[in-house]
Structure 1
Amino acid sequence: MPEATNSTEARFKDYAELLNHAAQWKSGLEKVKSAPPAPERTWYAYDILSNLWHIQNLMDQLPDEILSLFGSGHVADIGAADGDLSYFLESIGNSVDLIDWPDTNWNGLIGARELGSRLESKTVSIHEVDLDTQFQLPSERYDLVFFLGILYHLKNPFYILETLARHSRFCFLSTRIARRTADRRLKLEEAPLAYLLAPEECNDDPTNYWIFSAPGLIRLAERTGWNVRATYRVGDTKKSDPSSADHDERMFLALESRYR
């Protein structure tokens, strides 16, 4: 079973040390997940924990004290898949609200519940929340929110970011962005824009909605109650578009709430 610890500040002198611990913990997690979560069910197919390494590019731009948010606080992990990140955060001292919706989760949240059972989790609570409604968060206040790879799947990005700003101190966000339309005719990068996808346009997935330009995503964050403290872009950072698999660009933001 992956090793647990009690405090980020006590264990990790910097974010690089946290990543070293995450790599070791991930190795143990792979053993825990060696058997399927249930008959005829599979684990989420993508590496959620790899986001921690992308976040390093944000942490390098932030004050050292931000590291303290990773331990002994109350965290929301939104769109958490099987909960790999949630259970890692628990292992370093956090209590976590794992927030997802069974209808759109890879395995209907069976994976998250089974993983919690195998890890003997005590401080991760699983909450079924439909983020496309006028939802309420499970807790009144969060020290840190992870909102990674979810925004472009939601119908009302303004509502969710404003809600999170009112109930959170700090947020790491990532989503798909685009520099041009897929036909290359229209530049998106030069203005605060959002592109609305057709139902099957991106990955044949009708739950994909809004693809922002980088200025558009920053404008959205600022208009919903956040200060943008750091940014990082990865993927096709020259010719990205809203829908092509080979022109996929992601933007990571470190956000601090103005409501705190």
Structure 2
Amino acid sequence: MIYIGLSGWGDHDSIYPARLNSKNKLAHYSANFPIVELDSSFYAIPPERNSVKWIKDTPDSFQFIIKAYQGMTGHQRGEIPYESKEEMFDHFKKSIVPYINAGKLAMVLFQFPPWFDCTKDNVAYLRWCREQMGDMPCALEFRHQSWFSPSFLKRTLDFMKKEEWIHSICDEPQAGVGSVPAVLEATSQLKTLVRFHGRNIEGWKKPASGENWREVRYLYRYNKNELTEWKKKLEALQRQTRDIYVIFNNNSGGDAADNGKEMITLLNLNYEGLAPRQLDFFS
């Protein structure tokens, strides 16, 4: 099965009524898409009360892809409020338990930064991360091109298969060592993740000016030809893996929701168990 969803649920105005209360957005989102990427967990590990609400706001079949906390992947924007990596991982794993108990955890996404290159120490850290996560399904996404260089490509994929990492395949700008090609190979027979970051090459790189680069990094709208090309790729991937989770992350201009809907139509997907459409009409 191919599941289509978006990164977060707050920035997709095209699918929400004008007066929709922000507290009800996830419930309305889940009337449109069967999965979501929880990206707020990257910035701070969410308290249990938030997770309980989000689980309650979504139908039984809904699935969450939960992004690993920034300190776990070496981003460390700001102070990390944990005395050790072990404590940090333990705190994060406890925050995932409600999703596991509800049967709503699709996977945890470990997205590593552009400076995380293919070295012996980094391979060892990936192995340690996987050990810490135990039986939880975990996806691995690289941003440094060295992992998929000709000399390391096969070994990278073999390592991911051996350590039971789900491959997070990316469509993103090809902008040098800080970007990776779309390697269309599943490393798990059960699950594969595909993330659409757009193809805005200039926005992908941090400009020298004072421009807020994060607001333009994912500024891109896929056209029908590009989506049709990926339709064929997704159908080919289905021969390698049981379920494919597709996330549109091109949110900067509000294009992700429309592109996600287009892909659902192109693939002729019909999801059962979505939330009712007539949610909170007077909210």
TM-score range, shorter chain: 0.3 to 0.5
Larger proportion of strand: 1
* TM-score normalised by structure 2 residue count: 0.32
Larger proportion of helix: 2
Q: Which has the higher contact order (CA 8 A, sep 6+)?
A: 2
* TM-score normalised by structure 1 residue count: 0.34
